[in-house]
Amino acid sequence: MTSTNGLEITVDGLEGGDSAVTVMLVGSLDTTTVEEAQKMLLEVLEKLEIGDITVDFSELTYISSAGLRVMLLLNKEATDKNIKLKLRDMRQSVREVFDMVGFTALFTVE
Amino acid sequence: MNTQELIRIEHLNKTYENGFTVLEDVTVNINRGDVISVIGASGTGKTTFIRLINRLDEPSRGSVILDGVDLSDPNVNIDTMRMRIGMVFQSINLFEQMSVTDNITIGQTELLKRSKEEAVNKAKELLKTVGLVNEADSFPEELSDGQRQRIAIARALAMDPEIMLLDEPTSALDPMTAGEVVAVLRNLANLGTTMVVVTHNMSLAKSISNRIFYMDEKGIYEDDTPKVIFENPQKPRTKEFIFRVTSFNFALDNEHYDYIDLRNKYLNFASSHGIDEKNTDFCRLLIEELATILPKKSGTEITFSLAQKTGEFELIAVYSGVDYDILSEDNLSVTIIRNSVEGYAHKYVDGANRLALKWGRR
């Protein structure tokens, strides 16, 4: 687990060599936390050869365009590696930001 | 005496040695289960009021009667009576050389003469209440300020007080950790704990209390429910305080401006003006997006304001340079702003761009 100002990221499934990894985001994905989030998420993707990444949004309370850009980058990198990215359990306020910019259609949102 | 009544305050007066009277002829009842937030401008006697309740300050006149016992009676053992009143301060004083559990058990074993086992069990139960079970063996210096304040609350609760007095329990904390303490207080309110909380945090006052004391003119100027005080105050000075139009500015005058500072100042502003969580996050998003796209150079400034009466928010950005509307760009921030606000206007006057965004409470 790593922690930055206002965001905690937990990765589950990577150590066991599973092909399904779940990344949990807790807190805020804003200007101050995206750098660390981007680094962590791309590291997870790099270690994964095949399979899925699920990002659990249930404890993410805030996202801004800075966070959306990270998700967009992650989606692009995952697609390039043939890995499926899924976004799960978004809160309504976070979902609204995705909807506003038309991102809901770009991602697999569960 | 009313069976619900816990404290009766009669004709309380406090005049300092320099002749300044801060409270004059205050008479009020506090009932069991009341959660009272004491609000008002600085210097209106809020802190003095609760310090007089447990005699940390001596009243000049008047009495405080706890459960039928007059605390100003010289025959009353004030130390015994004080054990019935829990107190939590703005500055968090824990015993640094003792573990969290020892901090919570020492008063129980020394003053209430509980067995060690009984005290430890009580501490465990309270750590659950404040959400810090995993820190039982930690030392205060290993904890964040928000966690330390939660331990201070648990320590006060360990004495099974009949009432908790809290003096600005969140004001020394940053907005993020203040939220943890608010959650604990909300939980205590739901459990029926009688509390009097002095606070500048209007969201806290709104969300946990059944009564608000608005302090002004040397006393409790208006005593009513949060709904009345915040939405329909009856008296002129309360109206003035609650419905003041308020704003804050922030300069984005160079590339290295501090976004964390902007965010924290905004979050403090939002909590002290009673903006609820949903609107706090929504306005935060617009401020962050606008700050992202504005040119960071000399003269760039944003002003966020809230008209308390109409519930309208306004965000104004001023930036120098040629006549240019930054919302004419095509990027994620602009899309978010354009889809969120209810009105926007761009003007170019005397070499400065002025962009005004407006939206209502959600």
For A52-66, give the DSSP string: EEEEE-TTEEEE-HH
Question: Which residues, numbered 41 to 100 in chain A, qualify as contacts with chain B under a Cβ-Cβ cut-off of 8 Å?
Answer: 61-62, 64-66, 68-69, 93, 97, 100
Residues sharing a CB contact under 8 Å with residue B128, sequence separation 6 or more, in sequence order: none
List the single range of A14-18, A98-102, B309-313 with lowest mean pLDDT. Answer: A14-18
Segment A50-69 shows an average pLDDT of 94
User: Which pLDDT score, from 0 to 100, does residue B173 have?
Assistant: 83
Provide CB contacts within 8 A for B348, sequence distance 6+.
B323, B354
The confidence score (pLDDT) of residue A3 equals 35
Contacts A66 to B, Cβ<8 Å = 288, 292
* Helix, strand, coil abundance in chain A, percent, nearest 5: 40, 30, 30
Report the pLDDT value the prediction gives residue B266, as an integer from 0 to 100: 92
Q: A69: which chain B residues are within 8 Å (Cβ-Cβ)?
A: 332
Burial bucket for residue B353 (CB in 10 Å: 0-12, 13-18, 19+): buried
Tell me what pLDDT residue B309 has.
65
Regions of chain B short of the pLDDT cut 70: 1-3, 245, 308-309
The alpha carbons of chain A give a radius of gyration, in whole angstroms, of 13
Q: Tell me the per-residue pLDDT of A23-39, one tens digit each, with 9 for 90 and over.
A: 999 999 999 999 999 99
A4 confidence band (pLDDT: 50, 70, 90): very low
H or E segment at B239?
helix B236-242
The number of C-beta contacts closer than 8 angstroms across A and B is 44
Q: What count of other Cβ atoms lies within 10 Å of the Cβ of residue B188?
A: 20
Residue A65 C-alpha from the chain's centroid: 13
- Its ipTM equals 0.90
> How is residue B154 written in tokens?
């648990």
- Searching chain A, which residue's CA lies closest to the CA of residue B287? A64
pLDDT at B299: 87
- Which CATH number applies to A7-109: 3.30.750.24, 3.30.70.2740, 3.30.70.2660, 3.40.605.10? 3.30.750.24
Is it the case that residue A2 has pLDDT exceeding 70?
no
The pTM of this model reads: 0.66
Note the pLDDT tens digit of each residue in A76-88: 999 999 999 999 9
pLDDT tens-digit readout, A36-57:
999 999 999 998 888 899 999 9
Q: Six-digit token pair at B307?
A: 């008209």
Position B1 scores a pLDDT of 44
Inter-chain contact A93–B340, Cβ cutoff 8 Å?
Answer: no
Copy the structure tokens of residue A86.
């899924």
How high is the pLDDT of residue A1? Answer: 35
Beta strand segments in chain B, E: 5-15, 21-31, 35-39, 61-66, 69-70, 85-88, 163-167, 195-198, 211-216, 219-224, 245-251, 301-307, 312-320, 343-349, 352-360
CB contacts of A35 in chain B (<8 Å) are none
Residue B351 backbone zone (phi > 0: left; psi -120 to 50: alpha; other: beta):
left
Give residue A16's pLDDT.
64
For chain A, what are the domain ranges?
7-109
